[in-house]
Amino acid sequence: MVEDRGVTSTPFSGRGAIDLGALASARQNQQQAAAAVANAPAGVVIDVTEASFQSAVIERSMTVPVVLDLWAEWCGPCKQLSPILEKLAAEYAGRWILAKVDVDAEKRVAAAFQVQSIPSVFAVIMGQPVPLFQGAYPEPQIRAILDELLKVAAEQGVTGTLTDDHGQVPEEPAGAEADTEPATDPRFDAAFNAIEAGDWDGAAAAYQLILDADPSERDAIAGLATVGLYRRTEGEDEGALRAIADQPDAAADVRVQCATADFDALAGSWTLAFDRLVACVRASIGPDRELVRARLLELFVLAGEDPAVPAARTALANALF
C-alpha cells in the first residue's frame, strides 16, 4: 500500500528495475503516448513550473491525485519512462493528472522534493507528497502502482476526475485530429531494430557507426552505454550477486561488484552504484583497478547530469591518487 511518509522516505516499491526491452520499445512508447494524449481529456498531462505549482498541483490534488514526473532532457531512463506515464495518464482519462517537472529548469521544485536521482516519481494527494518510485519501471509495474495509488486516494476521499468548468470531462474540439507521430532520427533505426530483435551486438555496432561519423552524438553515446548495461545484466542472478557483494571481504571482487553496480544503475540508484565501485577501486590494483575505473566512467555517461556524478568523480580521483 502507498504510505504518505513525506519526500524523504524510501521510494514506494523499493528498488526498481528497467525492463530489458525498454530501450527497444522507447520509440513505440513515444508514438503511442503521442496518439493517446491527443485523444485524451485536455489537461491530463501538464508541464509544471515553480510559479504554477500551487494551482496546478497542490490545489488540484485536493480532488484528483497528481503524479509528478521529475525528469531532464539529458536523462536516458527519463526518455523511456515519460512516454509510458503519458500513455497511462491518457488511458486513465482524468482519474489522475500527470504533472511533468524539468528538474534543470525548476531546480527549486526538485530541491523541495529532495530529488537525488531521476527519473523520480511522486504523487500528491490532498497537498501531501507521496514517494512512488525512482528509475524506469516497466509498464505493468507502473500500472499496479497507480491502481494502488487510486485506492489510497479514495480512502482519503480524493475520488474526483479532471473536469472542465461545467463538471464534465473536456471533449476533443470538433474537427481536431491526432498529432502526427513524433519524428525519429533515421540514423538510429538500425540500432532500434537490432534491440527489438534482441541483437545486442548488432545494436552496439549500429550505435558505434553513428559515433564513428559523429563522436559527440550524445544519444548514441548513451545508447551504446545502455546496450552494454543491458547486455551485461541479462541472465545474471541479481540476488546471488548482492549476497556476495555485501560480504565484508568482497570489496575487491571486481566481477561481483561491477555486476552488482550494473543492477544499481538499472534501478537509478546512482549513488549506491558509484560508492560500490569507488570502494572497489580502493581495494583493487593493476588491471582490476583499471577495469573498475572504466566501468565507473561508463556509468557516469549513463547517469548524465545526475547530482551524484560530481561527488563520485571526486571520490574516484581521490581513490586513484
299 pLDDT above the threshold of 60: yes
Q: How confident is the model at residue 276 (pLDDT cuts 50, 70, 90)?
A: very high
- Supply the mean pLDDT for the chain: 79
Specify whether 75 is catalytic: yes
Up-side HSE of residue 163: CA atoms within 13 Å toward CB? 9
255 pLDDT above the threshold of 50: yes
Tell me what pLDDT residue 226 has: 85
Instruction: Walk me through the domains of the chain, giving residue ranges and CATH numbers.
Output: 22-155 (3.40.30.10), 187-320 (no CATH)
Specify whether 78 is catalytic: yes
Of 66, 75, 195, 261, the active-site residue reads: 75
> Between 259 and 175, where is the model more confident?
259
* Separation of alpha carbons 44 and 99, rounded Å: 8
User: What would the mean pLDDT of 174-193 be, rounded to a whole number?
Assistant: 63
171 pLDDT above the threshold of 70: no
70 pLDDT above the threshold of 80: yes
User: Which residues on neighbouring strands pair with residue 68, listed in sequence order?
Assistant: 99, 122
39 pLDDT above the threshold of 70: no
Instruction: Tell how strand 120-125 and strand 66-71 pair up.
Output: antiparallel
Tell me what pLDDT residue 163 has: 59
Of 23, 26, 67, 78, the active-site residue reads: 78
Q: How confident is the model at residue 24 (pLDDT cuts 50, 70, 90)?
A: very low
Taking alpha carbons only, the member of 75, 140, 71 closest to residue 99 is 71
278 pLDDT above the threshold of 90: yes
